[in-house]
Amino acid sequence: MPGGTFMKRRTFLTAAGAAPLLAQTAGARTPLDITAFQPRSMLEVPVNLVERARFPVIDVHTHISFSKDDKNTYNATPEELLAVMDRRNLRTMVNLTGGCGQGLKEAVERYDRAHPGRFVTYTEPWYSRANEPGYAGSQADWIAQAKRDGARGLKVVKTLGLYLRDSGGKLVRVDDRRFDPMWEACGTLGLPVSIHVSDPVAFFLPIDRFNERFEELNNHPEWSFYGKDFPSHLELMEARDRVFERHPKTTFVALHVGHYSENLAHVARSLDRFSNMFVELGARIGELGRQPRTARAFFEKYQDRIFFGTDAVPRGDEFPQQVFGDELYRIYYRFLETADEYFDYAPAPVPPQGRWRIYGLGLPDAILRKVYFENAERVLGIQAG
Ligand SMILES: [Zn+2]
């Protein structure tokens, strides 16, 4: 019996004086800075790199430009983007942060109109005006104007609920009534809303040795929403739900897997409750790929409610997990298409978010088609270019 052999051998080693020797080795441990620890996996498992997506892709979550009020800065030229897009079978990029006013017009001109079908631009609220009197009343007008200027949807960043403060310094809640006309106008005008509420759950916990994103938060302590006057992650989710509930005719894309990729059961309950809610994957394959069986079941059940998205930022040094380029798309395609095991979820240097690796979902063609482009065509009215 193997067990018997093992017992006998251990007894023998102890009797022979091997135990003190083992203890001595343990005592001579090498101190190692956690940031220097770069273990190389010894697993020899299949590697199936995916150079081109199996079907045309619409990326519903990218940041080609950034806006401040009605002024934009641009992270890449259309030509720089198109080169990567053509290599990777990425037909259309949706630039969520297209700004407003003059900035929006400029972004639409530079990308959407110059390369029809390849780029789609969304508008954003003019946040610095939110505390002006009459703000609520004017929203339907400026949303309609943004649509005339070429915006195909509205993006709301986590400013709402976590950064935007009223004149008294109090955080403005996600379900603040001042924004009701904005959500309503989007429904009436047929502009989908891409909304980012909250952040990874770990950002609401102390930055200590139990925090799964310790290194990321240690590098960016300003990303933490622990303590102070911030609402909890669940309070933000509940405020968001009240918005979904109050505006049933408005289509909401809850970014980053419904803002709760750590808890797909919670996301599933929200999807069951709100037929106007959809999700995308941006910057969360590190969570999905750590729970491949749960994630696969989620994709099977909600295959009509999920869009492909990456949160890609060209030249985004701050967010290494989402720098636009060939490598980013290779990783997303590998995650969705193959059953590969234990691979990096982001371009090097890894790990930007946490020390884990992911497992591919190996989705069937019918689901891949929906996630890559069919759902976006049907729900968001975007045709793959
Ligand atoms: Zn984003």
Taking 70 as the pLDDT cut, the residues of the chain under it are 1-27, 316-318, 350-351
Copy the structure tokens of residue 367.
């689901």
Ligand 1 centroid from CA 279, angstroms: 13
Ligand 1 centroid from CA 255, angstroms: 8
Ligand 1 centroid from CA 197, angstroms: 11
Ligand 1 centroid from CA 48, angstroms: 28
Cβ 60 vs Cβ 194: under 8 Å: yes
Write down the pLDDT at residue 9.
46
Phi first, then psi: what are they for 225, rounded to 5°? -115, 30
Ligand 1 centroid from CA 12, angstroms: 61
Ligand 1 centroid from CA 311, angstroms: 5
Ligand 1 centroid from CA 310, angstroms: 8
Tell me how far apart the alpha carbons of residues 86 and 78 are, in angstroms, rounded to a whole number.
Answer: 12
Range list of H helices, the chain: 2-15, 18-27, 78-88, 101-107, 135-148, 159-162, 180-189, 214-219, 233-246, 255-258, 264-273, 285-288, 292-301, 326-337, 365-369, 375
Ligand 1 centroid from CA 283, angstroms: 8
* Residue type (1 letter), 355: R
Ligand 1 centroid from CA 360, angstroms: 23
Ligand 1 centroid from CA 82, angstroms: 20
Ligand 1 centroid from CA 102, angstroms: 22
Q: What angle do CA 318, 323, 329 make, to 5 degrees?
A: 155
In three-state secondary structure terms, 154 is: strand
Write down the pLDDT at residue 153.
98
Tell me how far apart the alpha carbons of residues 316 and 83 are, in angstroms, rounded to a whole number.
Answer: 18
Ligand 1 centroid from CA 7, angstroms: 56
Please count the other Cβ atoms lying within 10 Å of the Cβ belonging to residue 332. Answer: 24
Write down the pLDDT at residue 104.
97
Closest CA relative to residue 97, chosen from 69, 138, 134, 129: 69
Q: Which residues are bridge partners to 282 per DSSP?
A: none
Ligand 1 centroid from CA 117, angstroms: 21
Ligand 1 centroid from CA 375, angstroms: 19
Copy the structure tokens of residue 373.
């482009």
Cβ 167 vs Cβ 138: under 8 Å: no
Q: What is the DSSP letter of 207?
A: S
Ligand 1 centroid from CA 75, angstroms: 14
Write down the pLDDT at residue 25.
57
Q: SS in 3 state form for 224-288?
A: CCCCCCCCCHHHHHHHHHHHHHHCCCCCEEEHHHHCCCCCHHHHHHHHHHCCCEEEECCCCHHHH
